[in-house]
Amino acid sequence: MTLLAEYYVPGLHVEDRSIRVPLDWTGNEPGKAFDGETISLFYRVVCAPERIHDDLPLLVFLQGGPGGCGPRPLNPSSDGWIAEAIRHFRVILPDQRGTGRSSRIDSHAMTRLAPAGARSQADYLKRFLADSIVRDFEHLRRTEFGGAKWVTLGQSYGGFLTLTYLSFFPEGVAASFTTGGIPHVPADATEVYEHTFPRMLAKTAQYYERYPQDVERVGMVADLLADGGVTMANGDPFTVRRLQCLGSDFGMKLSFERVHWILDEAFVADDGVASRGSALSDEFVDHVMSATSSRPLYWPLQEFIYADGELDEPIRWAAQRVRDTMPEFAEDRRPLAFTGEAMFPWMFEEETALRPYRAAMDLLMEDTRFGRIYDADRLAANDVPLQAAVYFDDMYVDSGMQLDTLSRVGRSHYWVTNEFEHDGLHGDRVFARLYREALDRGDLAGLF
Protein backbone atom coordinates (compact mmCIF):
# COMPACT_ATOMS: atom_id res chain seq x y z
CA MET A 1 0.00 0.00 0.00
CA THR A 2 1.09 3.60 -0.53
CA LEU A 3 1.06 5.83 2.52
CA LEU A 4 0.32 9.33 1.24
CA ALA A 5 0.07 11.18 4.55
CA GLU A 6 -0.25 10.62 8.28
CA TYR A 7 -1.73 13.28 10.56
CA TYR A 8 -4.30 14.13 13.21
CA VAL A 9 -7.61 15.91 13.26
CA PRO A 10 -9.07 16.61 16.71
CA GLY A 11 -9.73 13.23 18.34
CA LEU A 12 -8.59 11.12 15.37
CA HIS A 13 -5.37 9.67 14.02
CA VAL A 14 -5.59 9.57 10.21
CA GLU A 15 -3.65 7.79 7.48
CA ASP A 16 -4.23 8.57 3.81
CA ARG A 17 -3.47 5.58 1.59
CA SER A 18 -4.12 4.29 -1.93
CA ILE A 19 -3.73 1.16 -4.05
CA ARG A 20 -4.25 0.34 -7.72
CA VAL A 21 -7.21 -1.76 -8.84
CA PRO A 22 -8.33 -2.92 -12.31
CA LEU A 23 -10.69 -0.63 -14.17
CA ASP A 24 -12.39 -3.79 -15.45
CA TRP A 25 -12.59 -6.74 -13.05
CA THR A 26 -13.64 -9.16 -15.82
CA GLY A 27 -11.20 -12.06 -15.75
CA ASN A 28 -9.49 -10.77 -12.60
CA GLU A 29 -9.87 -11.97 -9.02
CA PRO A 30 -9.54 -9.83 -5.88
CA GLY A 31 -6.29 -10.48 -4.06
CA LYS A 32 -4.38 -11.65 -7.13
CA ALA A 33 -2.23 -9.99 -9.76
CA PHE A 34 -4.14 -8.41 -12.62
CA ASP A 35 -3.61 -7.08 -16.11
CA GLY A 36 -5.04 -4.16 -18.05
CA GLU A 37 -5.88 -0.57 -17.28
CA THR A 38 -5.86 0.40 -13.60
CA ILE A 39 -7.37 3.14 -11.49
CA SER A 40 -6.61 4.41 -8.01
CA LEU A 41 -8.57 3.39 -4.91
CA PHE A 42 -8.04 5.96 -2.16
CA TYR A 43 -8.89 5.20 1.45
CA ARG A 44 -8.35 6.54 4.93
CA VAL A 45 -7.60 4.58 8.08
CA VAL A 46 -8.76 6.32 11.26
CA CYS A 47 -8.60 5.39 14.92
CA ALA A 48 -8.54 6.97 18.36
CA PRO A 49 -5.15 8.63 18.95
CA GLU A 50 -4.53 6.59 22.08
CA ARG A 51 -5.10 3.30 20.21
CA ILE A 52 -2.73 3.69 17.26
CA HIS A 53 -0.67 0.66 18.22
CA ASP A 54 -3.52 -1.53 19.48
CA ASP A 55 -4.54 -4.68 17.59
CA LEU A 56 -8.06 -3.57 16.71
CA PRO A 57 -10.67 -5.34 14.56
CA LEU A 58 -11.46 -3.62 11.29
CA LEU A 59 -14.67 -1.85 10.27
CA VAL A 60 -15.04 -0.69 6.66
CA PHE A 61 -17.62 2.00 5.89
CA LEU A 62 -19.70 1.53 2.76
CA GLN A 63 -20.71 5.06 1.81
CA GLY A 64 -24.13 6.05 0.51
CA GLY A 65 -24.70 7.42 -2.95
CA PRO A 66 -24.27 6.21 -5.58
CA GLY A 67 -21.20 8.25 -6.41
CA GLY A 68 -20.50 9.21 -2.81
CA CYS A 69 -17.02 9.53 -1.36
CA GLY A 70 -16.09 8.62 2.21
CA PRO A 71 -16.66 10.97 5.16
CA ARG A 72 -14.22 13.80 5.86
CA PRO A 73 -14.55 13.94 9.67
CA LEU A 74 -13.87 17.17 11.53
CA ASN A 75 -13.68 15.24 14.80
CA PRO A 76 -15.21 11.95 16.03
CA SER A 77 -18.64 13.46 16.67
CA SER A 78 -18.96 15.44 13.41
CA ASP A 79 -20.27 12.21 11.86
CA GLY A 80 -21.85 10.70 14.94
CA TRP A 81 -21.27 6.99 14.28
CA ILE A 82 -17.48 7.46 14.13
CA ALA A 83 -17.23 8.37 17.82
CA GLU A 84 -18.78 5.02 18.75
CA ALA A 85 -16.91 3.04 16.10
CA ILE A 86 -13.40 4.12 17.14
CA ARG A 87 -14.09 2.88 20.66
CA HIS A 88 -14.03 -0.65 19.25
CA PHE A 89 -12.53 -0.65 15.74
CA ARG A 90 -9.91 0.64 13.39
CA VAL A 91 -12.09 2.30 10.76
CA ILE A 92 -11.50 2.18 7.00
CA LEU A 93 -13.05 5.03 4.98
CA PRO A 94 -12.71 4.29 1.23
CA ASP A 95 -13.59 6.69 -1.53
CA GLN A 96 -15.60 4.45 -3.86
CA ARG A 97 -14.08 4.24 -7.33
CA GLY A 98 -14.69 7.40 -9.32
CA THR A 99 -15.33 9.55 -6.24
CA GLY A 100 -13.27 11.79 -3.98
CA ARG A 101 -9.61 10.99 -4.55
CA SER A 102 -10.18 7.61 -6.25
CA SER A 103 -9.56 8.36 -9.96
CA ARG A 104 -12.43 10.82 -9.84
CA ILE A 105 -15.07 10.94 -12.59
CA ASP A 106 -16.72 14.24 -13.46
CA SER A 107 -17.58 16.22 -16.58
CA HIS A 108 -13.86 16.51 -17.39
CA ALA A 109 -13.53 12.72 -17.51
CA MET A 110 -16.57 12.40 -19.76
CA THR A 111 -15.24 15.11 -22.06
CA ARG A 112 -11.87 13.36 -22.20
CA LEU A 113 -13.59 10.11 -23.26
CA ALA A 114 -15.84 11.81 -25.82
CA PRO A 115 -13.53 11.28 -28.83
CA ALA A 116 -13.86 7.50 -28.32
CA GLY A 117 -17.64 7.84 -28.65
CA ALA A 118 -20.74 7.56 -26.48
CA ARG A 119 -20.52 3.76 -26.37
CA SER A 120 -17.09 3.97 -24.83
CA GLN A 121 -18.35 6.49 -22.27
CA ALA A 122 -21.33 4.28 -21.41
CA ASP A 123 -19.20 1.16 -20.97
CA TYR A 124 -16.79 3.16 -18.80
CA LEU A 125 -19.60 4.27 -16.49
CA LYS A 126 -20.75 0.66 -16.08
CA ARG A 127 -17.41 -0.05 -14.37
CA PHE A 128 -18.39 2.16 -11.44
CA LEU A 129 -21.30 0.16 -10.07
CA ALA A 130 -21.63 -2.27 -7.15
CA ASP A 131 -20.04 -5.32 -8.79
CA SER A 132 -16.78 -3.39 -9.27
CA ILE A 133 -16.95 -1.40 -6.03
CA VAL A 134 -17.22 -4.52 -3.89
CA ARG A 135 -14.38 -6.25 -5.73
CA ASP A 136 -12.20 -3.20 -5.04
CA PHE A 137 -12.94 -3.49 -1.33
CA GLU A 138 -12.36 -7.23 -1.25
CA HIS A 139 -9.04 -6.73 -3.05
CA LEU A 140 -8.13 -4.10 -0.46
CA ARG A 141 -8.98 -6.49 2.40
CA ARG A 142 -7.00 -9.39 0.96
CA THR A 143 -3.90 -7.45 -0.05
CA GLU A 144 -3.49 -4.65 2.48
CA PHE A 145 -5.07 -6.05 5.65
CA GLY A 146 -3.68 -9.57 5.56
CA GLY A 147 -7.00 -11.12 4.60
CA ALA A 148 -8.45 -10.43 8.06
CA LYS A 149 -12.22 -10.50 8.14
CA TRP A 150 -13.78 -7.12 8.69
CA VAL A 151 -17.10 -5.71 9.81
CA THR A 152 -19.05 -3.68 7.24
CA LEU A 153 -21.25 -0.68 7.96
CA GLY A 154 -23.39 0.37 5.02
CA GLN A 155 -25.38 3.61 4.93
CA SER A 156 -28.11 3.97 2.27
CA TYR A 157 -26.51 2.76 -1.01
CA GLY A 158 -23.90 1.23 1.26
CA GLY A 159 -26.62 -1.25 2.26
CA PHE A 160 -26.99 -2.20 -1.41
CA LEU A 161 -23.22 -2.78 -1.49
CA THR A 162 -23.55 -4.89 1.65
CA LEU A 163 -25.89 -7.36 -0.04
CA THR A 164 -23.56 -7.47 -3.05
CA TYR A 165 -20.68 -8.23 -0.70
CA LEU A 166 -22.66 -10.97 1.07
CA SER A 167 -23.69 -12.38 -2.31
CA PHE A 168 -20.16 -12.85 -3.64
CA PHE A 169 -17.56 -12.55 -0.87
CA PRO A 170 -19.23 -13.45 2.44
CA GLU A 171 -16.02 -15.16 3.58
CA GLY A 172 -14.46 -11.70 4.00
CA VAL A 173 -17.11 -10.37 6.37
CA ALA A 174 -17.34 -11.06 10.10
CA ALA A 175 -20.61 -9.12 10.56
CA SER A 176 -22.59 -6.44 8.75
CA PHE A 177 -24.59 -3.39 9.78
CA THR A 178 -26.87 -1.41 7.47
CA THR A 179 -28.83 1.78 8.02
CA GLY A 180 -31.64 2.81 5.67
CA GLY A 181 -30.18 0.72 2.89
CA ILE A 182 -31.63 -2.71 2.23
CA PRO A 183 -32.55 -2.89 -1.47
CA HIS A 184 -35.41 -4.87 -2.87
CA VAL A 185 -34.22 -8.17 -4.32
CA PRO A 186 -35.04 -8.78 -7.12
CA ALA A 187 -34.18 -5.22 -8.12
CA ASP A 188 -36.52 -3.14 -10.29
CA ALA A 189 -36.08 0.60 -10.77
CA THR A 190 -39.67 1.18 -11.85
CA GLU A 191 -41.01 -0.58 -8.77
CA VAL A 192 -38.84 1.63 -6.56
CA TYR A 193 -40.23 4.85 -8.01
CA GLU A 194 -43.79 3.57 -7.86
CA HIS A 195 -43.25 3.43 -4.09
CA THR A 196 -41.21 6.61 -3.59
CA PHE A 197 -43.14 9.15 -5.71
CA PRO A 198 -46.26 8.80 -3.52
CA ARG A 199 -43.98 9.31 -0.51
CA MET A 200 -42.82 12.57 -2.08
CA LEU A 201 -46.40 13.78 -2.28
CA ALA A 202 -46.80 12.97 1.40
CA LYS A 203 -43.56 14.77 2.24
CA THR A 204 -44.66 17.81 0.24
CA ALA A 205 -47.94 17.90 2.15
CA GLN A 206 -46.04 17.66 5.46
CA TYR A 207 -43.79 20.52 4.40
CA TYR A 208 -46.68 22.82 3.55
CA GLU A 209 -48.44 21.85 6.77
CA ARG A 210 -45.30 22.82 8.68
CA TYR A 211 -44.80 26.07 6.73
CA PRO A 212 -48.18 27.06 5.24
CA GLN A 213 -46.87 30.49 4.26
CA ASP A 214 -44.62 28.76 1.74
CA VAL A 215 -47.54 27.49 -0.33
CA GLU A 216 -48.02 30.93 -1.86
CA ARG A 217 -44.33 31.76 -1.89
CA VAL A 218 -43.37 28.58 -3.79
CA GLY A 219 -46.25 29.15 -6.19
CA MET A 220 -45.13 32.70 -6.91
CA VAL A 221 -41.56 31.57 -7.54
CA ALA A 222 -42.83 28.84 -9.87
CA ASP A 223 -45.07 31.27 -11.76
CA LEU A 224 -42.13 33.61 -12.29
CA LEU A 225 -39.89 30.78 -13.48
CA ALA A 226 -42.59 29.48 -15.83
CA ASP A 227 -42.28 32.72 -17.79
CA GLY A 228 -38.67 31.78 -18.59
CA GLY A 229 -35.54 33.86 -18.81
CA VAL A 230 -34.12 33.22 -15.33
CA THR A 231 -30.62 31.77 -15.27
CA MET A 232 -28.25 30.66 -12.56
CA ALA A 233 -24.75 31.98 -12.05
CA ASN A 234 -23.25 29.08 -14.02
CA GLY A 235 -25.59 29.69 -16.96
CA ASP A 236 -28.03 26.85 -16.23
CA PRO A 237 -31.67 27.78 -16.85
CA PHE A 238 -33.60 28.13 -13.61
CA THR A 239 -36.82 26.24 -14.33
CA VAL A 240 -39.81 25.05 -12.33
CA ARG A 241 -38.59 21.48 -12.50
CA ARG A 242 -35.22 22.57 -11.09
CA LEU A 243 -37.11 24.28 -8.24
CA GLN A 244 -39.01 21.04 -7.58
CA CYS A 245 -35.69 19.28 -7.00
CA LEU A 246 -35.35 21.11 -3.67
CA GLY A 247 -37.41 18.22 -2.32
CA SER A 248 -34.58 15.76 -2.92
CA ASP A 249 -33.43 16.45 0.63
CA PHE A 250 -36.86 15.96 2.27
CA GLY A 251 -35.92 12.56 3.67
CA MET A 252 -33.21 14.05 5.87
CA LYS A 253 -33.37 15.63 9.31
CA LEU A 254 -34.14 19.37 9.31
CA SER A 255 -34.55 19.40 5.52
CA PHE A 256 -37.88 21.23 5.79
CA GLU A 257 -36.14 23.98 7.70
CA ARG A 258 -33.29 24.24 5.18
CA VAL A 259 -35.72 24.62 2.27
CA HIS A 260 -37.90 27.06 4.23
CA TRP A 261 -34.97 29.36 4.91
CA ILE A 262 -33.85 29.22 1.29
CA LEU A 263 -37.33 30.37 0.27
CA ASP A 264 -37.37 33.00 3.00
CA GLU A 265 -35.06 35.22 0.95
CA ALA A 266 -36.51 34.41 -2.46
CA PHE A 267 -37.68 37.90 -3.39
CA VAL A 268 -36.12 41.30 -3.72
CA ALA A 269 -38.36 43.53 -1.59
CA ASP A 270 -37.96 45.90 1.34
CA ASP A 271 -39.28 43.32 3.79
CA GLY A 272 -38.95 40.20 1.66
CA VAL A 273 -42.72 39.78 1.36
CA ALA A 274 -43.59 38.32 -2.03
CA SER A 275 -45.68 40.32 -4.44
CA ARG A 276 -46.57 39.82 -8.06
CA GLY A 277 -43.78 41.12 -10.25
CA SER A 278 -41.09 40.84 -7.57
CA ALA A 279 -37.67 39.77 -8.80
CA LEU A 280 -35.86 36.77 -7.41
CA SER A 281 -32.86 37.62 -5.26
CA ASP A 282 -29.39 36.62 -6.40
CA GLU A 283 -28.80 34.92 -3.06
CA PHE A 284 -31.90 32.75 -3.47
CA VAL A 285 -30.92 31.68 -6.98
CA ASP A 286 -27.42 30.82 -5.77
CA HIS A 287 -28.79 28.80 -2.85
CA VAL A 288 -31.06 26.79 -5.16
CA MET A 289 -28.21 26.20 -7.58
CA SER A 290 -26.03 24.89 -4.73
CA ALA A 291 -28.80 22.75 -3.19
CA THR A 292 -29.79 21.11 -6.48
CA SER A 293 -26.45 20.80 -8.27
CA SER A 294 -25.49 17.26 -9.13
CA ARG A 295 -22.58 15.33 -7.76
CA PRO A 296 -20.62 13.95 -10.73
CA LEU A 297 -21.78 10.32 -10.42
CA TYR A 298 -24.87 10.65 -8.24
CA TRP A 299 -27.44 11.34 -10.94
CA PRO A 300 -25.70 9.50 -13.82
CA LEU A 301 -25.67 6.22 -11.87
CA GLN A 302 -28.90 6.71 -9.93
CA GLU A 303 -31.14 4.27 -11.81
CA PHE A 304 -28.42 1.78 -12.75
CA ILE A 305 -27.89 0.73 -9.13
CA TYR A 306 -31.03 -1.37 -9.74
CA ALA A 307 -29.58 -3.08 -12.84
CA ASP A 308 -28.73 -6.68 -11.89
CA GLY A 309 -27.26 -8.83 -14.64
CA GLU A 310 -29.40 -9.48 -17.72
CA LEU A 311 -32.49 -7.26 -17.65
CA ASP A 312 -35.81 -8.31 -19.16
CA GLU A 313 -36.36 -4.73 -20.32
CA PRO A 314 -34.20 -1.59 -20.53
CA ILE A 315 -34.57 0.91 -17.68
CA ARG A 316 -35.59 3.75 -20.06
CA TRP A 317 -35.73 6.61 -17.56
CA ALA A 318 -37.81 4.82 -14.93
CA ALA A 319 -38.35 7.88 -12.72
CA GLN A 320 -39.59 9.98 -15.63
CA ARG A 321 -41.94 7.24 -16.77
CA VAL A 322 -43.48 6.95 -13.29
CA ARG A 323 -43.69 10.72 -12.89
CA ASP A 324 -45.52 10.99 -16.21
CA THR A 325 -48.34 8.88 -14.75
CA MET A 326 -48.82 11.28 -11.82
CA PRO A 327 -50.33 14.66 -12.75
CA GLU A 328 -49.80 15.78 -9.14
CA PHE A 329 -46.20 16.59 -10.14
CA ALA A 330 -47.14 18.83 -13.08
CA GLU A 331 -45.17 22.07 -13.17
CA ASP A 332 -48.36 24.15 -13.35
CA ARG A 333 -50.07 22.35 -10.44
CA ARG A 334 -50.53 24.41 -7.27
CA PRO A 335 -49.53 23.84 -4.56
CA LEU A 336 -46.37 22.81 -6.39
CA ALA A 337 -45.17 19.31 -5.52
CA PHE A 338 -41.49 18.66 -4.88
CA THR A 339 -39.64 15.69 -6.35
CA GLY A 340 -37.26 13.45 -4.42
CA GLU A 341 -34.26 11.27 -5.23
CA ALA A 342 -34.98 10.84 -8.92
CA MET A 343 -33.14 11.72 -12.10
CA PHE A 344 -34.81 12.94 -15.27
CA PRO A 345 -33.68 13.31 -18.91
CA TRP A 346 -33.90 17.11 -18.80
CA MET A 347 -31.11 17.25 -16.20
CA PHE A 348 -28.64 16.10 -18.85
CA GLU A 349 -29.76 18.92 -21.13
CA GLU A 350 -30.06 21.81 -18.69
CA GLU A 351 -27.28 21.21 -16.15
CA THR A 352 -23.80 22.24 -17.29
CA ALA A 353 -22.07 19.54 -15.23
CA LEU A 354 -24.26 16.77 -16.68
CA ARG A 355 -24.37 17.65 -20.37
CA PRO A 356 -21.20 15.66 -21.20
CA TYR A 357 -22.99 12.52 -19.95
CA ARG A 358 -26.07 12.82 -22.16
CA ALA A 359 -25.08 10.68 -25.14
CA ALA A 360 -23.81 7.91 -22.84
CA MET A 361 -26.99 8.07 -20.75
CA ASP A 362 -29.17 7.55 -23.80
CA LEU A 363 -27.26 4.35 -24.56
CA LEU A 364 -27.27 3.11 -20.97
CA MET A 365 -31.02 3.59 -20.75
CA GLU A 366 -31.40 1.09 -23.61
CA ASP A 367 -28.85 -1.42 -22.30
CA THR A 368 -29.94 -4.74 -20.85
CA ARG A 369 -26.55 -6.22 -19.87
CA PHE A 370 -25.00 -5.24 -16.55
CA GLY A 371 -22.85 -6.92 -13.93
CA ARG A 372 -24.49 -9.26 -11.41
CA ILE A 373 -24.98 -7.60 -8.05
CA TYR A 374 -27.10 -10.09 -6.05
CA ASP A 375 -27.24 -13.84 -5.62
CA ALA A 376 -30.64 -14.60 -4.09
CA ASP A 377 -29.75 -18.20 -3.24
CA ARG A 378 -26.58 -17.22 -1.48
CA LEU A 379 -28.38 -14.50 0.45
CA ALA A 380 -31.01 -17.00 1.56
CA ALA A 381 -28.21 -19.22 2.89
CA ASN A 382 -26.28 -16.28 4.35
CA ASP A 383 -24.45 -17.05 7.60
CA VAL A 384 -22.92 -13.60 8.22
CA PRO A 385 -24.77 -11.77 11.01
CA LEU A 386 -26.62 -8.79 9.52
CA GLN A 387 -28.18 -6.10 11.70
CA ALA A 388 -30.30 -3.53 9.83
CA ALA A 389 -31.83 -0.25 10.92
CA VAL A 390 -35.02 0.22 8.88
CA TYR A 391 -36.55 3.69 9.02
CA PHE A 392 -40.31 3.25 8.79
CA ASP A 393 -40.91 6.57 7.00
CA ASP A 394 -37.80 6.40 4.80
CA MET A 395 -38.40 8.53 1.70
CA TYR A 396 -35.63 6.97 -0.35
CA VAL A 397 -35.63 3.25 0.47
CA ASP A 398 -39.12 1.93 1.09
CA SER A 399 -39.35 0.22 4.48
CA GLY A 400 -41.81 -2.42 3.29
CA MET A 401 -39.50 -3.43 0.47
CA GLN A 402 -36.57 -3.55 2.90
CA LEU A 403 -38.45 -5.90 5.22
CA ASP A 404 -39.51 -8.10 2.33
CA THR A 405 -35.87 -8.55 1.33
CA LEU A 406 -34.72 -9.16 4.90
CA SER A 407 -37.31 -11.92 5.25
CA ARG A 408 -35.30 -13.79 2.60
CA VAL A 409 -31.77 -13.10 3.91
CA GLY A 410 -30.34 -15.66 6.30
CA ARG A 411 -29.21 -14.61 9.78
CA SER A 412 -30.60 -11.09 9.37
CA HIS A 413 -32.09 -8.99 12.13
CA TYR A 414 -33.76 -5.62 11.94
CA TRP A 415 -34.83 -2.71 14.07
CA VAL A 416 -37.75 -0.74 12.63
CA THR A 417 -38.11 2.83 13.90
CA ASN A 418 -39.84 6.07 12.92
CA GLU A 419 -37.67 8.09 15.30
CA PHE A 420 -35.07 8.88 12.64
CA GLU A 421 -34.95 10.06 9.06
CA HIS A 422 -32.74 8.51 6.38
CA ASP A 423 -29.62 10.18 7.80
CA GLY A 424 -30.09 8.82 11.33
CA LEU A 425 -26.66 7.17 11.28
CA HIS A 426 -24.99 10.56 11.41
CA GLY A 427 -26.24 11.13 14.95
CA ASP A 428 -24.81 9.39 17.98
CA ARG A 429 -27.50 6.79 18.71
CA VAL A 430 -28.20 4.53 15.73
CA PHE A 431 -24.87 2.77 15.36
CA ALA A 432 -24.44 2.52 19.14
CA ARG A 433 -27.74 0.63 19.35
CA LEU A 434 -26.97 -1.67 16.43
CA TYR A 435 -23.54 -2.43 17.84
CA ARG A 436 -24.94 -3.25 21.28
CA GLU A 437 -27.64 -5.51 19.85
CA ALA A 438 -25.09 -7.42 17.78
CA LEU A 439 -22.72 -7.68 20.74
CA ASP A 440 -25.44 -8.96 23.07
CA ARG A 441 -26.56 -11.52 20.50
CA GLY A 442 -23.02 -12.87 20.19
CA ASP A 443 -22.69 -11.78 16.58
CA LEU A 444 -19.31 -10.16 17.23
CA ALA A 445 -17.82 -13.12 19.11
CA GLY A 446 -14.21 -13.68 18.23
CA LEU A 447 -13.53 -10.07 17.28
CA PHE A 448 -12.72 -8.84 20.77
E strand or H helix at 415: strand 412-417
pLDDT level of residue 422 (50, 70, 90 thresholds): very high
Q: Quick check: 167 pLDDT over 80?
A: yes
- Beta-carbon neighbour count of residue 443 at 10 Å? 22
Q: Quick check: 10 pLDDT over 80?
A: yes
Higher pLDDT, 328 or 296: 328
Taking CA atoms, 24 is separated from 127, 134, 158, in Å, by 6, 13, 21
pLDDT score of 274 = 67
| Rounded average pLDDT over 423-427 | 96
CA distance 202 to 179: 22
| Rounded average pLDDT over 113-119 | 96
E runs forming strands in 131-185? 150-155, 173-179
SS (H, E, C) 262-274: HHHCCECCCCCCC
For residue range 213-243, list pLDDT tens digits in order. 999 999 999 999 999 999 999 999 999 999 9
Contact 379, 166 (CB under 8 A): yes
Q: Quick check: 294 pLDDT over 80?
A: no
Q: What contacts 346, CB < 8 A, 6 or more positions away?
A: 239, 241
pLDDT score of 248 = 94
pLDDT score of 296 = 87
Contact 25, 19 (CB under 8 A): no
For residue range 25-65, list pLDDT tens digits in order. 999 999 999 999 999 999 999 999 999 999 999 999 999 99
CA distance 84 to 151: 14
For residue range 127-148, list pLDDT tens digits in order. 999 999 999 999 999 999 999 9
Percentage, residues of the chain above pLDDT 90: 95
Q: Which of 350, 354, 259, 349 is nearest to 302 (CA)?
A: 354
Residue 434: burial class (beta carbons within 10 Å; 0-12, 13-18, 19+)? buried
pLDDT score of 1 = 60
CA angle centred on 368, ends 362 and 370, rounded to 5°: 100
Torsion of CA 438, 440, 442, 445, to 10 degrees: 90
Q: Which CATH number fits domain 2-187+373-441: 3.40.50.150, 3.40.50.1820, 3.40.630.30, 1.10.10.10?
A: 3.40.50.1820
Cα of first residue to Cα of last residue in the chain, in angstroms, is 26
For residue range 177-190, list pLDDT tens digits in order. 999 999 999 999 99
Domain residue limits, the chain: 2-187+373-441, 189-364
CA distance 409 to 403: 10
pLDDT level of residue 339 (50, 70, 90 thresholds): very high
Residue 38: burial class (beta carbons within 10 Å; 0-12, 13-18, 19+)? middle
* 282-292 helix and 255-264 helix, angle to the nearest 10 degrees: 150
* Alpha helices per DSSP H over 265-375: 282-292, 298-301, 318-323, 347-350, 358-364
pLDDT score of 272 = 66
DSSP state of 295: P
Whether pTM > 0.85 for this model: the answer is yes
pLDDT score of 273 = 74
